[in-house]
Amino acid sequence: MWAIAKQTFKAAVRYRFVIAMAISLLIIVFGLPLMIKSDGTAKGMVQLVLTYTLGATTALLGISSLWMGCGTLAREIEDNVIQMVAVKPIARWQIWFGKWMGIMLLNAALLVPTGLTIYFLIESRSRSEELSQSEQDKLRNEVLVSRSEVNLPELDLTLNRSRAYNYCKLVLMGKSQYTPSEQALRMSVTNPEHILSLRGQDYVSLVEQAQKNPQLIKDVEELEHQAIQMYKGTTEVILPGQNYQWVFQIDTNKIDEINKRPIYLRYKFNAGDEYDPKSHLCTWTVGAGTGKHWPANEQPKQIKVGSSVFHELELNLEGGIVPNQEGPNHGRVVVNFFNLNEKPIIFLNKDGPSILYHDGGFGLNLFRGLLIIYFWLGLIAAIGLMASSFLAFPVAAFMSIGILLISASTGTLEQIVEEKGISGIDHETGRKLAPSALDDIAIVMAESILWVTNSVWDYSPVDNLSSGRTITWTSLFWAFIGIILFMSGLISAFGSLMFTRKELALPNPTASMN
């Protein structure tokens, strides 16, 4: 297998593919920063340079991996050169993996120097005398750093129909005293089930009717969906004049270390009008009731910032902002937001807010990020090789590009899932115009593809790196499991199976297999 890998690498070198790629990468690394226009701050510039250079490097190496994956096998099959290898004592799957390893060797040879160049280029810029000390500090603390993220606990959006039905009936009874089982039921209901009880009579009758007429089950589901959405809304929407509080629990073992440096509140909001680009007033306080009040002058911090983008708020307090005394507030960071605008402010659950604290340097974080990119390249190479295992080169390239395009265009798929199918929807009532079996098929397909693509692209390291957030070893491990072992493994198994079944000496490469 190693011999095949070396030979594949040698082919790329001899055909000057490596040189062409190296020159292209040099242009990206050195040329892109010259063309980028940032917001004028050093932080903004470095973030953009990181985003563009890493993005462009990933794209270029991705295309080259795909090209190599499709070309190295398909062309050797078409030129019959593979016959000379296949008659040697090496299993077909070993040839396949040897090719894959060769492409990965090539990717490593290109990605490692590119990563090192990016690292040293940014490090040298961050120490440039042109930057003031405060700008350098900002870079060190907010971008060229590895910061762990503390997120809010996930919302419990479960809705058990039987429990919700029983609870609704109990509420409708209007009891003031409860049996132990009724009390247990009251304690076990989730927030969506509780909200559903506000429409108790409608829900109870609908569930009972649906038992006789299964077609009504859609209406039951609709009510339940509304309850869930309503609960989500209460956690996301802050009306004008209202206050909302989030509580973050910090690992108590790390508090001493965390308190040595400032921590950051990372947030993103939308105004009432989602597309409103104007700035809005954000009024914050931290540490209410914990004895660690921020700002120190006890006046709320007020800033005007734009919606729909992430912001960071430095929470710097002498002695640290995280309470480190045994008790109910141990490690609790309480954040309050006051909406003093005339519009509702929306904090989507998926966007946080979150707390960031320093836990390492930029170099190691970049290394982990590059490893995830390397895993992606491995997957792309596997897709190319898989396609070329049974298709001619142009068709294999076309198919591979198609797969990548579909996986990248998740917007349409998300819309199919959101709108519950491909048939039209009445936006006033939110109901399907003419639901059909095709909708169900489309939903299953879209959900499957989304599951697969999300399990790959969710590990995107570029955003984390440019915002100085830690790519944890755990997420690296799961990225390896998900992208390399699972996804690439499945594709490789299929590809090498097809290659094993393929008759390599057919007069016409497009003729059928035996």
Partner 1 sequence: MNSTETVISAQGLTKVFKDFWGRPKARAVSGIDFEVKRGEVFGLLGPNGSGKSTTVKMLLGLLYPSKGRISVFGHSPRHVQTKSRLGYLPEESYLYRYLNSEETVDFFGSLFHIESKERRERAEQLIQMVGLENAKRRHVGEFSKGMQRRIGLAQALINDPDLVILDEPTSGLDPIGCREIKDLILTLAERGKTVILSSHLLSDVEDVCDRAMILYGGKVQAIGTMKELLSNRNATRITSPALSRETMDKVLTLIREDTKSQEVHVDNPTENLESLFLNIVEQAQQRESETSGATSGHRVADYLRGDTSQNKSDRVLDHLTRNEDSTLTQIANTQSKPATIKEDKLADLSKTETDPAPTLKVTPKKGEDLDKANDKLSGLLGE
81 or 303: CB nearest partner 1? 81
How far apart, in whole angstroms, are the C-alpha atoms of residue 61 and residue 27? 14
- For the CB of residue 501, give the shortest distance to partner 1 in the complex, in Å: 9
Q: Residue 246 contacts by C-beta under 8 Å, 6 or more apart in sequence?
A: 152, 334, 335, 337, 353
Closest alpha carbon to 155 in 223, 220, 233: 233
Instruction: Choose between 91 and 438: whose C-beta lies nearer to partner 1.
Output: 91
Instruction: Work out how close the CB of 11 gets to partner 1 at its nearest, in angstroms, rounded to a whole number.
Output: 6
| Minimum distance, C-beta of residue 106 to partner 1, in the bound complex (Å) | 15
Q: Is 427 helix (H, G, I), strand (E, B) or coil?
A: coil
Q: Which is nearer to partner 1, 34 or 513 (CB)?
A: 513
Segments in 27-91 forming alpha helices (H)? 32-35, 42-78, 81-86
| Residue (55 or 509) nearer to partner 1, CB | 509
| Structure tokens given for 129 | 């005398």
451: β partners: none
| Cα angle value 425/430/435 (rounded, 5°) | 45
Residue 210 corresponds to which tokens in the numbers above?
A: 């649906």
Distance CA 469, CA 467 (A): 6
If the CB atoms of residues 90 and 288 are measured against partner 1, the closer one turns out to be: 90
Q: Which residues bind partner 1 (CB under 8 A)?
A: 3-4, 7, 10-11, 14-15, 79-81, 83-91, 503-507, 510-512, 514
Beta carbon of residue 33, minimum distance to partner 1 (angstroms, whole number): 36
In whole angstroms, the minimum distance from the beta carbon of 1 to partner 1 comes to 10
CB of 5 to partner 1, least distance (A): 11
Nearer to partner 1, 15 or 477 (CB): 15
The C-alpha angle with vertex 47 and arms to 43 and 49, in degrees rounded to 5, equals 115
CA atoms within 13 A on the CB side of 323: 22
Q: How far apart are CA 495 and CA 504, in angstroms?
A: 15
Q: How far is the CB of 64 from partner 1 (least distance, A)?
A: 18
* Closest separation in Å from C-beta 36 to partner 1: 38
Q: What ranges make up the beta strands (E) of 122-250? A: 145-151, 237-238, 243-249
**Measured from the CB of residue 382, what is the shortest distance to partner 1 in angstroms?**
23
Minimum CB distance to partner 1, residue 226 (Å): 52
Nearer to partner 1, 97 or 375 (CB): 97
* Contacting residues for 88 by C-beta, under 8 A, at least 6 apart: none
3-state SS of 296-335?
CCCCCEEEEEECCCCEEEEECCCCCCCCCCCCCCCCEEEE
For residue 48, what are its two tokens? 């953009």
Q: Which is nearer to partner 1, 39 or 79 (CB)?
A: 79
CA 301 – CA 185 distance, rounded (Å): 43
Instruction: Give the nearer residue to partner 1 in terms of CB position, either 5 or 111.
Output: 5
Cβ closer to partner 1: 32 or 90? 90
Cβ-Cβ contacts under 8 Å for 183 (sequence gap 6 or more): none
Q: How far apart are CA 402 and CA 410, in angstroms?
A: 13
d(C-alpha 99, C-alpha 407), whole Å: 24
CB of 392 to partner 1, least distance (A): 12
Looking at the DSSP bridge assignments, the partners of residue 245 are 336
The smaller minimum CB distance to partner 1, of residues 85 and 288, is found at 85
